[in-house]
Amino acid sequence: MIRLKTKEEIEILRENALLVSKTLAEVGKNIEPGVTTLKLNEIAESYIRDNGAQPAFLGYGGFPFTLCISVNDVIVHGFASDYRLKEGDIISVDCGTVYKGFYGDSAYTFSVGNIDTDTANLLKVTKESLYLGIDAATIGNRIGDISYAVQNHAESNGYSVVREMVGHGIGKQLHESPEVPNYGKRGSGKKLVEGMVICIEPMINAGTRSVKIHKDGWTLSTNDGKNSAHFELMVAITKEGPEVLSTFDYIEKNNI
């Protein structure tokens, strides 16, 4: 069942979305060679709590951290650890909040120092595919129109699309209907209507789409060991068009 949101509920979702956006920027300020991913997790948890919210991921289904931190070939749901970031790494940081009974959820893939040209292009194309998906999130379109936009752009640039993990609705639950795959056919799936709020989140691999799950039951990585990128924004479906509730501006204005 898809739960449509009132304008008032969308404003609370926006508050969550902006707090997640600011948390990601706070984490981004500290991403540099030598920092541990556990330290980044601590920074995020403190920032969220200091702003009157709760970490959405901590304890969710037994997940043990505030952030999903996924380095290089890890696609999503990576664990914070004593691993120290190295020059040339990429790190996907996925963050969620709970505030006023609603959730926020966004992700950004950061570069650690200077990265090679191929990896920079993977990040660029993945982010472009996200914005193309958002452009397709208009009333009267269907979920498949979003999915196709993401898949077409990623694959036309020589990359592959993860199929085991998808975007989702969001509201009083972290994961609500509908699912928003990053692959699909135009004109298929649920019709987009006013009041829907969804998370669009391309997960794009440099190599094949084949994945493997780690023994922890959470961490998903590429089967071929090649890098993967992940970007996610929260989007409300409105009469005026797709309204992006979260933002990368806090991150990118700092030239991170």
Q: How confident is the model at residue 163 (pLDDT cuts 50, 70, 90)?
A: very high
Q: What pLDDT digit, counting tens, does each position of 99-145 carry?
A: 999 999 999 999 999 999 999 999 999 999 999 999 999 999 999 99
Q: Where are the domains of the chain?
A: 7-252
User: What is the CATH topology of the domain spanning 7-252?
Assistant: Creatine Amidinohydrolase (3.90.230)
In the Cβ-directed half-sphere of 178, how many Cα atoms lie within 13 Å? 20
**Spatial contact of 203 and 162, defined as CB atoms under 8 Å apart:** yes
In the Cβ-directed half-sphere of 21, how many Cα atoms lie within 13 Å? 19
The share of the chain scoring above pLDDT 90, in percent, equals: 98
Report the C-alpha gap between 126 and 232 in whole angstroms.
Answer: 10
Residue 256, pLDDT above cutoff 70: no
* pTM assigned to the model: 0.97
Residue 39, pLDDT above cutoff 60: yes
Average pLDDT value for residue range 21-39? 98
Report the C-alpha gap between 93 and 65 in whole angstroms.
Answer: 12
Q: How confident is the model at residue 45 (pLDDT cuts 50, 70, 90)?
A: very high
User: Mean pLDDT, the chain, as a whole number?
Assistant: 97
Vertex 222: Cα angle to 220 and 228 (nearest 5): 95
Average pLDDT value for residue range 175-181? 98
**Greater pLDDT, 150 or 254:** 150
Give me the pLDDT at residue 254, please.
65
Q: How confident is the model at residue 203 (pLDDT cuts 50, 70, 90)?
A: very high
Report the C-alpha gap between 109 and 28 in whole angstroms.
Answer: 10
Give me the pLDDT at residue 162, please.
98
